[in-house]
Amino acid sequence: MSELTTYYLEMLDQASLRAKAGPSDFSVSILVEPTFDLNRQFYQKVGGDWQWTNRLKWSEEQWLTYVERPVLATGVVTVDDQSTGYFELEAQEGGDVEIVQLGLLPEYVGCGLGGALVTAAIEAAWSITGTRRVWLHTCTRDHKSALENYKRRGFVVYKTVRE
């Protein structure tokens, strides 16, 4: 098995965002009443190609507990009224907001929506009252363009871990 490298990235100022617009019919909805099943389905479908496995064995109760936390926000991205991807944001102590999950459904990967998706997640994170830093991590198992996409949007690598 090849070496796994995890990159931790952060954005310390909203002005650092280098936004990329989506197509004219691109929209984002932050769910007011999240449902565990939606998050579970996105997690399974989006993460299938990227070895997202941590939550695959979660029970409905574990999903409910996770999704119904007031610190978690779920955003759904649509193009032409079709769900294309999602993101999860977690507000943390000290003004940190982590982009916990982010991705496109497999049929939309490679369609030029990644930059707009990352932009939408960053904008939503900065819109949370008290945000001082937005951060995330990615790894070498992620899409080959993920790390560069994050950097192009204004994130800076602050830590690298090789396993």
Show the domain range for 105: 5-162
Bridge partners of 101? 88
What's the domain count of the chain? 1
Bridge partners of 5? 162
Task: Using the structure block, give the residue that is written with the tokens 């939503």.
Answer: 124
pLDDT band at 18 (very low <50, low <70, confident <90, very high): very high
Task: Using the structure block, give the residue that is written with the tokens 């994050």.
Answer: 150
CA distance 134 to 132: 7
**Smallest Cα–Cα separation from 120: which of 26, 52, 50?**
26
Model pLDDT, residue 110: 82
Higher pLDDT, 32 or 79: 79
**H helices within 26-143, ranges in order?**
36-47, 60-67, 114-126
Provide φ and ψ at 100, rounded to 5°.
-75, -45
Model pLDDT, residue 31: 85
Model pLDDT, residue 1: 53
pLDDT band at 120 (very low <50, low <70, confident <90, very high): very high
Give residue-wise pLDDT tens across range 107-116.
998 888 999 9
Contacts of residue 123, Cβ cutoff 8 Å, sequence gap at least 6:
17, 19
Give residue-wise pLDDT tens across range 50-88.
776 677 788 888 988 888 889 999 999 999 889 989 999
Percent of the chain topping pLDDT 90: 57
Which CATH number belongs to the domain containing residue 153 in this structure?
A: 3.40.630.30
Q: Determine whether 26 is exposed, middle or buried from the number of CB atoms within 10 Å of its CB (0-12, 13-18, 19+).
A: middle
pTM over 0.85: yes
Helix (H) or strand (E) holding 150: helix 146-152
Model pLDDT, residue 52: 66
Confirm if 84 and 42 have CB atoms less than 8 A apart.
no
Quote the mean pLDDT of the chain: 90
**Smallest Cα–Cα separation from 142: which of 18, 28, 4, 32?**
4
